[in-house]
Amino acid sequence: MMSIMKTLSKTIIISLLSFSSWLSAAPAWELVDEAVVKNAEQVIQWRRWFHQHPELSNREFNTAEYVARELSNMGLDVSTGIAKTGVVALLKGGKPGKTVALRADMDGLPVSEQTGLEFASTVKAQYDGKQVGVMHACGHDAHMAILLGVAKTLSAMREDISGNVLFIFQPAEEGAPEGEEGGAELMLAEGLFEQYKPAAVFGLHVGLNTPHGVIALRRGPLMAAVDTLRITVEGQQTHGARPWGGVDPIVTTAQIINALQTIVSRQINITKVPAIVTIGKISGGVRHNIIPDEVEMWGTIRTFDAAMRDQIHASIKRIAANTAAASGATAIVEIYNGYPVTINDGDLYDRMLPTLARVSGDVPLLNPDLFTVAEDFSFFANQVPGLYFYLGSVAEGVDPLAAPSNHSPLFDVDESVLEIGTRALSHLAMDFLSSE
């Protein structure tokens, strides 16, 4: 009995020593939160500068210069010109460990702002051959400000960090201009992750119909893969009064569009995950009484499963070709692969969920439905385990479903939630590195 008690006492002492050691090694959460609060006004000012000075994809020259300067002032190792205008900075912790990556996107949209904010954008730029307004209508201004806030917070306590933090300011999330490369895919192609070898990557997105101050995320697929569809229907021109004298590509196009609707409704198992095939643009003909030679249509494909994605692509090609052939026309189908599915790594999700729950406090985390929008964060998360979450940025008390959505000229961010985003990414980085 005495031997058992001695063994038990030794076990308890060892356990207490181990627990004490864990406490001393645990992230200094209170210090992080104090620094976030201290930097909160600066984060707001950063967001307002970005909002007032938006730039289109692959044209974020002034934005990149501003970001690089702020990061350099924090004493970080900064690299510019990544994937044309991207900026990365490495924070080297005072203790050995792995590297974690945090990402924000930089580009604005060809949208003329209508918010009436004092710091509203009045920027104009060339887009698709036209002079357009430019606006941060998707919240990338908030993402950059939050990530700068995280960099400032963690750089002040670098000696307590076990490992390194890689800050990624990525251009062209909204898509590179036609004929150009860009975004996360190009950053990776240039060797970003090969150089820094992060063990995980984290990111966030404001808006997306999430309630004020709420953190929302789900395990596994979160946002859809997106592909662009182009179908050219070739017929034979004839007078509108003599349709039998040619082959009408307009009628054939209408038949193809109707037939494409059977893919989602009749040909795939939508009990597994949803899918979308949408035709958004049709062009053909020049006059009311002339049947043209050719009609062109453009569309978008959204999927959450790789096998289903391949099945839908094959179905589109088969339906378009056979429907056109039945009318004596031909259909040329081109599908341009876009962003893959954004997937939250299961193990990383389970591991970091308590961190986000702690940051969220009394506000429960939300497990949202699948989002059929797409994000090129997916390229990063395909290389290393990734975790991406939403942060509700509507004003308190506002129904997020009734508020202007992302990409609207009226879209705005309640700046009080910037502090939550800064805390969330800071805690994720600290917790991940300390647990590694």
Closest to 388 measured CA to CA, from 227, 211, 189, 206: 206
Q: Which residues of 376-403 are buried (b: 16+ CB within 10 A; e: fewer)?
A: bbbbbbeebbbbbbbbbbbeeeeebeeb
Per-residue pLDDT band for 251 (boundaries 50, 70, 90) equals: very high
Which of residues 128 and 404 earns the better pLDDT score? 404
Domain 225-337 fold: Alpha-Beta Plaits (3.30.70)
pLDDT at 27: 56
Of 17-21, 323-327, 382-386, minimum mean pLDDT range = 17-21
User: Rounded to whole angstroms, how far apart are CA atoms 145 and 47?
Assistant: 5
pLDDT in tens, 41-76: 999 999 999 999 999 999 999 999 999 999 999 999
pLDDT at 149: 98
Q: What is the mean pLDDT of residues 387-400?
A: 97
Report percent pLDDT > 70 for the chain.
Answer: 94
The pLDDT of residue 25 is above 50: no
Decide: 267 and 308 in contact? Cβ < 8 Å: no
User: What are phi and psi for residue 141, nearest 5 degrees?
Assistant: -60, -40
How many C-beta atoms surround the C-beta of residue 1 within 10 A?
Answer: 5
pLDDT at 201: 98
User: What are phi and psi for residue 185, nearest 5 degrees?
Assistant: -60, -40
Q: What is the mean pLDDT of residues 397-416?
A: 97
- Full DSSP string of 234-266: E-B-EETT-GGGSB-HHHHHHHHHHHHHHIIII
Residue type, 178: E
The pLDDT of residue 93 is above 80: yes
The pLDDT of residue 16 is above 70: no
Tokens for 65, please give them: 């210069």
User: What is the torsion angle, in degrees rounded to the nearest 10, for the CA atoms of residue 121, residue 122, residue 123 and residue 125?
Assistant: 120
pLDDT at 4: 40
pLDDT in tens, 303-318: 999 999 999 999 999 9
Per-residue pLDDT band for 436 (boundaries 50, 70, 90) equals: confident
Per DSSP bridges, beta strands 238-239 and 290-291 are antiparallel
Q: What is the mean pLDDT of residues 182-207?
A: 98
Which of residues 8 and 119 earns the better pLDDT score? 119
User: What is the torsion angle, in degrees rounded to the nearest 10, for the CA atoms of residue 411, residue 415, residue 419 and residue 424?
Assistant: -10
* Catalytic (active-site) positions: 339, 415
Residues of the chain with CATH 3.40.630.10: 28-222+342-435
The pLDDT of residue 7 is above 70: no
Architecture, CATH, for domain 28-222+342-435: 3-Layer(aba) Sandwich (3.40)
Region of 419 (left: φ > 0; alpha: ψ -120 to 50; beta: rest) is: alpha
User: What are phi and psi for residue 336, nearest 5 degrees?
Assistant: -105, 115
Per-residue pLDDT band for 2 (boundaries 50, 70, 90) equals: very low
The pLDDT of residue 174 is above 50: yes
pLDDT in tens, 112-169: 999 999 999 999 999 989 999 999 999 999 999 999 999 999 999 999 999 999 999 9
The pLDDT of residue 19 is above 70: no
Residues of the chain with CATH 3.30.70.360: 225-337
The pLDDT of residue 391 is above 70: yes
Average pLDDT, the chain: 94
Question: Which residue's structure tokens are 């070898």?
Answer: 197
Q: What is the mean pLDDT of residues 341-354?
A: 98
